Amino acid sequence: MTLRLFDLSGRVAVITGISRGIGRALAHGFAEAGAIVAGCARSYEAAERTAEQIRAKGGEALGVLADVTRPEDCQALIDAAVRRYGRLDIAVLNAGINIKKPSIDFAAGEFDTVIAGNLRAYFLAAQAAARQFMRQGRGGAIVMNSSNASLAAFDELGPYCAAKAGIDGLVRALAAEWGPHGIRVNAFNPGYTTHSMTDKGQDYLKTGAAEIIGRTPLRRMAEVSEMAGPAIFLASDAASFVTGVTLAVDGGWCAA
């Protein structure tokens, strides 16, 4: 009975950024939990590749071309899911970008790119999902993939830390504003995984591995697949009275 609370069978979940990394792992995880997945990337082929992998395993999934920094694309993503599957139950906002360099060297345009690719994109996608939830009148769950960079300083990630802290703020603000509509808004905050968003970051995972692992109470980095459980929890009925929270999934990094 209790386990059934985590079951997403028949729920329609939109997930942004499913072509690789954590988003792809989330798409597979949600499908394994029973959800129907409509996921996007900035290339239709890349999104469809993940959708096809899910269908090959017996799940149901749809790949959509959408750049989530654009409001019309966020709307088109939600519309594509509703047109195909008739409803929306869950929106997982995951697609993000990063530029790793010293803050002193950031151009204004690079700062804007990082804020738009994370904070603006999450706001626009949340807004499009919430409009659909309000139209349906049955509530819904929004789960944001934030980062422990919202909670602590990370080297050469100044604007990214700011964008992710903004996402945590958005979680609380939107949870308060949309709670009366039955819309829950939460985030999980990954720490270091074995997958990095940038080549420079991937190099650091090798050279800095001992330091990262030594500083992490669980003494390892996460696999991207380990993000699915916390995200599924927040999206599921198991979290029916949970809203406005940010859940660290960082092996204890921020606690230590």
Ligand X SMILES: NC(=O)c1ccc[n+]([C@@H]2O[C@H](COP(=O)([O-])OP(=O)(O)OC[C@H]3O[C@@H](n4cnc5c(N)ncnc54)[C@H](OP(=O)(O)O)[C@@H]3O)[C@@H](O)[C@H]2O)c1
Binding ligand X (rule: CB under 6 A), the pick from 8, 11, 12, 19 is 19
Binding ligand X (rule: CB under 6 A), the pick from 17, 29, 63, 159 is 17
| Interface size with ligand X, residues (CB under 6 A) | 31
Is there a catalytic annotation at residue 160?
yes
Nearer to ligand X among residue 184 and residue 195 (C-beta): 195
Q: What share of the chain is helix, strand, coil (3-state, %, to 5)?
A: 50, 15, 30
Binding of residue 192 to ligand X (CB under 6 A): yes
Binding of residue 21 to ligand X (CB under 6 A): yes
132 DSSP 8-state letter:
H
Binding ligand X (rule: CB under 6 A), the pick from 190, 204, 232, 234 is 190
Binding of residue 68 to ligand X (CB under 6 A): yes
- Which of 89, 111, 79, 86 minimizes the C-alpha distance to 7? 89
- Contact between residue 60 and residue 33 where contact means Cβ atoms under 8 Å apart: no
Binding of residue 43 to ligand X (CB under 6 A): yes
Distance spanning both ends of the chain, measured CA to CA? 35
| ∠ CA 227-26-22, rounded to 5° | 65
142 DSSP 8-state letter:
E
Binding ligand X (rule: CB under 6 A), the pick from 75, 132, 145, 246 is 145
**Residue type for 12, please?**
V
Binding of residue 150 to ligand X (CB under 6 A): no
Binding of residue 22 to ligand X (CB under 6 A): yes
Binding ligand X (rule: CB under 6 A), the pick from 41, 78, 142, 157 is 41
How far apart CA 117 and CA 69 sit, in angstroms, is 6
Q: Please report, as ranges, the residues that interact with ligand X according to CB under 6 A.
A: 16-23, 40-43, 46, 66-69, 94-97, 117, 121, 145, 147, 190, 192-193, 195-197
Catalogue the active-site residues: 160
